[in-house]
Amino acid sequence: MRSGTSVVVRPLTPSPSPPRGEGDTWRSLPTGGENARRYLCLFFPQWGLQCVWREQAETRVKAAALFERNAHGSVVAVCSAEAGKLGVRGGMSVADARALAPGLLLVEADYAAYQTRLEEVCAWAIQFSPLVGVEPAGPHAPHAEAIFLDTTGCEQVFRGEENLLRLALEGVRKLGLFARAAYAETLGAAWARARFGSGVRDQESGVRGQESEISALDFLNELPLAALRLDHDTLACLHALGLQRVGELMRQPRAALPSRLGPLPLLRLDQALGTAPETLTLLRPAPEFRVGGSFEYPVRNTEMLFPIIERMMEKLADELDAAGRGARVVECWLFHEVASPARVECLLHRSSASGAHLWQLLRTRLEAELRSGGTLAAERSASILGGRSAAAPKVRNTFAMEIDDRVLEVEEGVCAVAVQVLSSERLSERQLALFERATDEPGRLGLLWDRLASRLGQGAVMKARLEEHTLPECEVLWEQINSKCKMQNAKLDAAEIAERPLRLFKETVAITVDWPRRFLWNGREMRIAAFTGPERIETAWWTQKDQRRDYYIIETETGGRYWVFRRIGDEGWFLHGVFE
Amino acid sequence: MNLTIEHLRSKIQALEQVPFAKPRTYVPSTVPELDALLPGGGLSLGTFVELIQDEEGCGAFTLALRMARGSLARRPAWVVVDGDGTFFPRGNFRGDAEAPNAVLSLEHLVVLRPEAKDAAWACGQVLRSVDVGACFWMTASMDNMLFRRLQLAAERGGGLGFVIRPREALRKPCWAGARVLVSRGRATVLHAMGGCGGDTGRGDTETRRDARWRENEKRDVSGCATPHP
């Protein structure tokens, strides 16, 4: 999963003289402008607890709380509503919480895992918009609980914002999660509305009113100051001044705010109103080239669908060619009327602007996914937080046969398709490929690796790299064939190449050895005819794996040659490989 | 070749729908004893070779790697279809392709780890490629149709394909260009097609001639009373 690409959300209209120039006035930018952007914020209340509930469904009805360890001991970080009814509060010591609620389920918070899971949900949300990002941790919340989607223009694919919102919340529900969602024209306003707004939508309630017609200034007025994403100290200071609502803060003279409260309140207000830029860190880079289209009626078989996508790929290739670039990562989205969109991705061994080649790879992937009965991205994402959803596969073939000229049926009709290039490079800057020789026709091997990777998966086409390492299992590293990094093997002299088996087991197999006469493996008695060794292999104690092994090459009376070792310490014997 | 003869050949072929055998190119397997047993003094390019291993660890894969060197001198790319993910190219190959006396080079190795259902397809794709010198696959199950398909794929690609199978495969028909039994460190050519008439050969050869088994360190356990070294 890639991250780190940033886009700057510019002010909606250029403002050479900011509206705050007069010192006392606040103005939000007009809604629905030509350059207006639309952000959808999905806020997951008590995200850590939701992760716990998702993994342990039986705990959902219990009073539960997350605790964290700090200098003062173990304290409750967040608690469920049931726990709150029993008097448990955030910041309370764990001992006190246990005293109040003896049956309280206490789980130590693992914020890193919660962040990873939120990123997984964010990746799932790419089906609604290519521009998605996780809420950056800030002074208001050290741990993210929301994701943002830049849905500008995407509503056309989903036939309106309402439909997009509904699909997003349905998808969240299928993941076993709970979210509050809200649209706005700035990130700050979307977050404030999703977190504190009264008219936001969640799984149980509907949207009240046309939110898009309410300006940020109007709805922010009534929200509490915490909606500005301020830190605890600033909030405490504002409360001490008697300010509770954002509107009350906006009635204060602007010029005096920074000197008394620091720059943050003013910045947050301007960001929420759209008069100051705010950066959204995207989970994935925005597509560089994109072609898409929608159908009048849902398409339900590959006989009709594939020619359309093929034409799109040709168009995409034309765009690439015109720009002098070749695609490295191509993505295809299939949008359904009701079901969640499905996604297929192709990584190329070498950049290509050939429509036929790109289509061949994409077709292989699509057919493989269809044949496998619904392992498309939309389905995989259902298992983000552990386990596939109970829903039936959205896409499956009706002919469990080999592909090529057979027509596959798509259970959920496809109403729109988008193909896009996520990564490209200049064709003229291409380096020689790994296996390319002067006598090779350019790209033939690359085409083969691409074809194999498309069908088998990226992780199934590997190249080996030698590493200098003490432990045998760490001496060979595997890289995907489409990895951009140049493989550099450790250079070894012939004298340094120790004899190693051609097959090395992933897990060593415990065996019973009657040294030096025989050993038992898989219920078979192997009588030892000869052996060589030992070869002592031991790792340093300061490394992660502290191992001391004596390796022997054993030849059995039947001619088999095996690589076994005796673990020094407990004297256990293990089979590690076979000299095939 | 005379154009008239070629023209007549294609005409007859079109009438009879039977392809004529192309002139074969033989490459030495770098195992002289084995070459002596094979028609043409080596393996014919575009051949699928079946190695039957009498027991795990008897050296069939090592022999296959040695036999492929002649083909890899022409096309260095080689592929291992490694379904169970245990292939370990550490001790037998060099990372440096330019090294003198280089054996099979890791620089040109690609390892495929397909699911069981895709392994045959992957092997066929590799064999069809005209740029891959050799493809290796260890598998127990292979029906006649698949065998024939892979042989045809190898003929089309012009490289060498090696399938390593257990002893049980001896009872089944062979569609490969050559079938070699590897047992107790020795190889026996059971069947080899070559030339126009499909000559066969029989004989033995050492499979691990180049294995760096330290003979001077090798210890015979007969009479060894030490409970543990």
Residues A270, A139 share a domain: yes
Other beta carbons within 10 angstroms of residue A57's beta carbon come to 10
Residues 6+ positions from A251 with CB-CB distance below 8 Å: none
Whether B131 sits inside 8 A of A462 (CB atoms) is: no
Q: What is the C-alpha separation between A481 and A154, in angstroms, rounded?
A: 34
For residue A563, the distance in angstroms to the closest alpha carbon of chain B comes to 10
Of all residues in chain A, the one with the smallest CA distance to B210 is A499
pLDDT digits (tens, 9 = 90+) for A462-477: 888 877 777 777 778 8
Residue count (chain A): 580
A367 within domain boundaries:
yes
pLDDT band at residue B80, thresholds of 50, 70 and 90?
Answer: very high
Rounded Cα distance, A571 and A509, in Å: 14
Mean pLDDT, residues A317-327: 88
Taking CB atoms within 8 Å and a gap of at least 24, the contacts of A67-72 are A67/A94, A67/A97, A67/A106, A67/A107, A67/A108, A67/A109, A68/A108, A68/A109, A69/A108
The two tokens of residue A41 are 């914020």
State the Cα–Cα distance between residues A549 and B172, nearest whole angstrom. Answer: 42
CA atoms within 13 A on the CB side of B213: 22
Q: Is the domain of A163 the same as that of A266?
A: yes
Most confident of A113-122, A132-141, A423-432, B21-30: A113-122
Number of structural domains in chain A: 5
pLDDT at A288 > cutoff 70: yes
State the average pLDDT over residues A192-220.
60
Position A4 confidence tier, pLDDT thresholds 50, 70, 90: very low
What is the average pLDDT score of chain A? 75
Counted across chains A and B, CB pairs separated by less than 8 A come out at: 181
The rounded distance, in Å, linking the Cα atoms of A216 and A220 is 6
CATH number reported for the structural domain that contains residue B179 in this entry: 3.40.50.300
Could you tell me which residues come within 8 angstroms of residue A360 by beta carbon, excluding any fewer than 6 positions away? A451
Compute the radius of gyration of chain B from its Cα atoms: 19
Domain limits at B187?
31-86+102-206
pLDDT of res. B135? 92
B4 within a domain of the structure (yes/no)? no
- Measure the CA–CA gap between A200 and A192, rounded to whole angstroms: 10
Q: What is the pLDDT of residue A372?
A: 67
The answer to whether the CB of B90 falls within 8 A of the CB of A475 is yes
Nearest by CB to residue A560, choosing from B58, B112, B218, is B58
Q: What crossing angle do the helices spanning A444-456 and A355-371 adopt, rounded to 10°?
A: 20
Better-predicted residue by pLDDT, B167 or A427: B167
Share of chain A above pLDDT 90, in %: 1
Cβ B132 vs Cβ B78: under 8 Å? yes
**B215-219 CB contacts, 8 Å cutoff, 24+ apart:** B217/A532, B217/A533, B218/A530, B218/A531, B218/A532, B219/A530, B219/A531, B219/A532
- The nearest CA of chain A is from the CA of B205 a distance in Å of 14
* Pairing label, strands B47-53, B178-183: parallel
Residue at a domain's end among A425, A456, A487: A456
A316/A383 same-domain check: yes
> Are residues A277 and A132 part of one domain?
yes
Residue in chain A closest to B82 (alpha carbons) equals: A460
- One-letter amino acid for residue B187 of the chain: A
pLDDT surpasses 70 at B217: no
Q: What is the pLDDT of residue A406?
A: 57
Quote the CA–CA distance of A371 and A335 in Å, as a whole number: 18
Instruction: Please identify, among A109, A126, A160, the residue that sits at the C-terminal boundary of a domain.
Output: A109
Q: How many domains does chain B have?
A: 1
Least confident of A107-116, A271-280, A285-294, A437-446: A437-446
User: Which of B86, B110, B185 lies closest to A449 in CB terms?
Assistant: B110
- Asked if B88's CB is within 8 angstroms of A500's CB, the reply is yes
Per the CB < 8 A criterion, the answer to whether A327 and A348 are in contact is yes
Q: Which two tokens stand for residue A46?
A: 């008590």
User: pLDDT (tens digit, 9 = 90+) per residue, B192-206?
Assistant: 775 443 333 444 555
Spatial separation of the C-alpha atoms in residues B153 and B130, rounded to whole Å: 10
Confidence of residue A225 (pLDDT cuts 50, 70, 90): confident
Phi/psi class of residue B30: alpha, beta or left (left: φ > 0; alpha: ψ in -120 to 50)? left
Cβ proximity of A166 and A18 under 8 Å:
no
Cα of B46 to nearest chain A Cα, Å: 18
Residue partners of A473: CB distance under 8 A and separation at least 6? A504
Q: Which residue of B has its CA nearest to A493?
A: B94
Same domain for A125 and A72: no
Domain identity same for A493 and A503: no
Both tokens of residue A249? Answer: 């803060």
pLDDT confidence tier of residue A25, bands split at 50, 70 and 90: low
- Residues A346 and A201 occupy one common structural domain: no
Burial B60-81 (b: 16+ CB within 10 A, else e): bbbbbbbbbbbbbeebbbbbbb
Nearest CA in chain B to A456: B114
Do A379 and A262 share a domain, yes or no? Answer: no
pLDDT value at A10 more than 70: no
Distance from CA of B139 to the nearest CA of A (A): 13
Burial of B22 (0-12, 13-18, 19+ CB in 10 A): exposed
Determine the average pLDDT of the residues in B153-178: 86
| A419 located within any domain | yes
CB contact (8 A) between residue A559 and residue B183: yes
List of chain B residues whose C-beta atoms are within 8 Å of the C-beta of residue A487: 107
Residue A537 CA to residue A525 CA, distance in Å, equals 27
- DSSP structure class, residue A352: E
pLDDT tens across A451-504, in order? 888 888 878 888 888 777 777 777 788 888 876 555 555 555 554 556 778 888
Question: CB–CB of A188/A38 below 8 Å?
Answer: no
- Is position B17 within any domain? no
pLDDT of residue A442: 47
| A459:B138 CB<8 A | no
- Residue A237: half-sphere exposure toward Cβ, Cα within 13 Å: 14
Q: Is residue B60 part of a domain?
A: yes
Look at residue A22 and tell me whether its pLDDT is greater than 50.
no
Enclosing domain of residue A557: 499-578
- Residue of B62, B111, B118 lying closest to A580 (CB–CB): B62
- A501: distance to nearest CA of chain B, Å? 7
Write out chain B residues lying below 8 Å of A505, CB-based. 86
Cβ contact (<8 Å) for B90 and A475?
yes
Strand boundaries in A44-83, DSSP class E: 64-70, 73-79
Residues A158 and A123 in one domain: yes
In a domain, A23, yes or no: no
- 3 state SS for A77-137: EEECHHHHHCCCCCCCEHHHHHHHCCCCEEEECCHHHHHHHHHHHHHHHHHCCCCEEECCC
Q: For residue A291, give the nearest of A262, A258, A314, A261 by alpha carbon.
A: A314
CB A40 within 8 A of CB A68: no
Chain B contacts of A577, Cβ < 8 Å?
86, 88
Q: Which of A266, A282, A298 is the last residue of a domain?
A: A282
Residue A549 CA to residue A556 CA, distance in Å, equals: 21
State how beta strands A5-9 and A524-538 pair.
unpaired
Nearest to A562 among B57, B77, B106 (CB): B57
Average pLDDT across chain B, whole number: 74
- Alpha carbon A482 to its chain's center: 20
**What is the structure's pLDDT at A31?**
52
A3: in domain: no
pLDDT at B5 over 70: yes
* Segment A355-391, tens digit of pLDDT: 888 888 888 888 877 776 553 433 333 333 333 333 3
Is the N-terminal amide bond of A534 cis, ω within 30° of 0? Answer: yes
Asked, for residue B8, whether it belongs to a domain, the answer is no
**What distances in angstroms separate CA B7 from CA B11, B15, B19, one per listed residue?**
6, 12, 14
Whole-structure pTM over 0.95, yes or no? no
Taking the CA of residue A423 and the nearest CA in chain B, the distance in Å comes to 24
Interchain CB distance below 8 Å, A515 and B109: no
Which residues in B lie closer than 8 A to residue A475 (C-beta atoms)? 90
Is the pLDDT reported for residue B90 higher than 50? Answer: yes
Does A69 reside within a domain?
yes
Q: How far is B8 from chain A (nearest CA, A)?
A: 32
Half-sphere exposure of A137 (CA within 13 A, CB side): 9
Range in A57-61, A148-152, A402-406, B206-210 the model is least confident about: A402-406
Taking the CA atoms of residue A444, residue A449, residue A452 and residue A457 in that order, the dihedral angle to the nearest 10 degrees is -150
Is residue B101 over pLDDT 70? no
SS3 B45: coil
Q: Are residues A267 and A334 in the same domain?
A: no
Do A71 and A190 lie in one domain? The reply is no
Q: Are residues A126 and A268 in the same domain?
A: yes
Q: Residue A566 — very low, low, confident or very high, per pLDDT cuts 50/70/90?
A: confident
What distance in Å separates the CA atoms of residue A521 and residue A230, rounded to the nearest whole number?
65
Q: What is the ipTM of this complex?
A: 0.77
